[in-house]
Structure 1
Amino acid sequence: MLETPSEEDSIFLSRADVDEPLSSYSEYGFELEEVFWPSVEHYFHGMKFENEDYRERVRSAAHPKQAAKLGRTRFKRIRRDWSKVRRVVMTRAVYTKCRTHPEVASRLLATGDKTLVENSQYDYFWGCGRDRRGHNNYGMVLMDVRERLREEAASLTD
């Protein structure tokens, strides 16, 4: 559960903001699983499915919002281990996006030591929730990737 961060020590952002480079909806594409993914959101929802045809349908969605909608279907079976691997999948996508687009990595590193918070009123897993008591897993993913990028930069200067 997220400790309630102070406003001055935090950066609040939305995963669904296509204009925010750190959001999962921003259209900074990357290659993973030997194919090009238009956004983190496309990759994240595509990886829910073992069915290759449906995964391709999610990957080729015209907009991240459409990929998310396809990923929330109740008519296709989601992989059994999804609840165990979803954070790893998100981390892999965000990290690959940052390594593919240096300007996104720079934006993330420029957040310093601030707490990054996915400002969703309704999502208590990825976001902070209406009462700021959610788990903020998306913010945690961003902070984990930020730390990894810092470690990589430090190892280059050693």
Structure 2
Amino acid sequence: MDTTLNKSMKSHEVITPTDLINHWQGHRGLTRRTIEAFPEEAFFKHTIGGMRPFSEMIMELLGIAGPGIKEIATGKSAPLNEHFEHGNKKAKILELWDEATKEIDTYWAQIKPEQFQQNIKIFGQYEGTVYSSIFYFIDNEIHHRGQGYVYLRSLGIEPPAFYER
């Protein structure tokens, strides 16, 4: 790549941190509505083709999003934890989801714009930049929500419109 072009690209902002968090929180709201659409038992037990139940995918997302943003904001690394007590109650998982959403908002406000380009080793093991880690958090959520959509359709349930964020 032409270094002149590369240098000029770095000096122009394409998306603001506020735009990015609003985009992500739109996805989080859609994922929450996807969780809500599941019948209780199917949320914890329904699988297709060897994939995990949607509840386990959500545990992964809960382990990544809030703790990941907290690590980025504070610089304090913690091991990845994808197991949260929920008593096989969808309502408890929705509560955990809402708590994570608040945690994301709290710690997002502490991230300085210049941090987005910094290198990081998230959860002590995944190397990249702050922005590439955040993109991973978002992309991973979209990926798993897509799997949830397949599950819902296989159950005869229309998932929430993907564009209503």
Q: Say which structure, 1 or 2, has more relative contact order (CA 8 Å, 6+ apart).
A: 2
Q: TM-score, normalised by structure 1?
A: 0.33
Structure with the higher strand share, 1 or 2: 1
Structure with the higher helix share, 1 or 2: 2
Q: TM-score, normalised by structure 2?
A: 0.32
Q: Which is higher, the Rg of structure 1 or of structure 2?
A: 2
